[in-house]
Each structure stands twice: as structure tokens, then as C-alpha cells.
């Protein structure tokens, strides 16, 4: 692998964090689309629909927490 400067290690770490943040964004978007699909059907929601929406909201909250942690880590790496 060789010797790497601190700058190279930081750049690689930032790239990895960026990729993880983007993956989380896509997962949040997919979960949001699933919830919107249930809500936009135009028919009264079933108990199962309500449970699915609540579980989706909880997943989005957890993913958001993960993203916030990654963003803080990214911010800590500096420019």
C-alpha cells in the first residue's frame, strides 16, 4: 500500500464519508417515496398502512441521525 500523507488519508476518508452520505440520502428518499405512495392512494388507510407509515417514519429518523453523525465527522476533517 505504501506510505500516505495525512492529506491523502484525509481525502480518502472524506470520499468514503461522501459516498456513505449519498447512500443514506438515497435510502431516505426511497423510504419517503414508499410512505408517499401509501398516503397518495386516495383510499382510507388500513391499520397495516398506518403501521407501515409509522415504521417508515422511524427508519427515516434513524437514517437522518446516521447522516447527521457522518456530516459532523466530515465537518471535523476540515477542508
> What's the whole-number mean pLDDT along residues 69-79?
90
Domain that holds residue 17: 6-76
pLDDT digits 0-9 by tens, 1-30: 567 798 899 999 999 999 999 999 999 999
- Establish if 57 belongs to a structural domain: yes
- Establish if 67 belongs to a structural domain: yes
User: How far is it, in rounded angstroms, from Cα 62 to Cα 28?
Assistant: 10
- Establish if 1 belongs to a structural domain: no
| Tally of domains in the chain | 1
pLDDT digits 0-9 by tens, 21-66: 999 999 999 999 999 999 898 889 899 999 999 999 999 999 999 9
- Establish if 27 belongs to a structural domain: yes
- Establish if 69 belongs to a structural domain: yes
C-beta separation of 43 from 4 below 8 A: no
Amino acid at each position: 500500500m505504501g506510505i500516505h500523507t495525512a492529506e491523502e488519508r484525509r481525502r480518502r476518508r472524506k470520499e468514503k464519508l461522501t459516498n456513505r452520505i449519498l447512500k443514506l440520502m438515497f435510502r431516505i428518499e426511497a423510504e419517503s417515496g414508499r410512505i408517499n405512495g401509501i398516503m397518495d392512494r386516495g383510499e382510507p388507510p388500513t391499520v397495516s398502512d398506518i403501521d407501515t407509515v409509522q415504521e417508515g417514519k422511524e427508519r427515516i429518523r434513524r437514517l437522518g441521525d446516521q447522516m447527521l453523525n457522518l456530516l459532523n465527522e466530515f465537518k471535523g476533517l476540515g477542508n
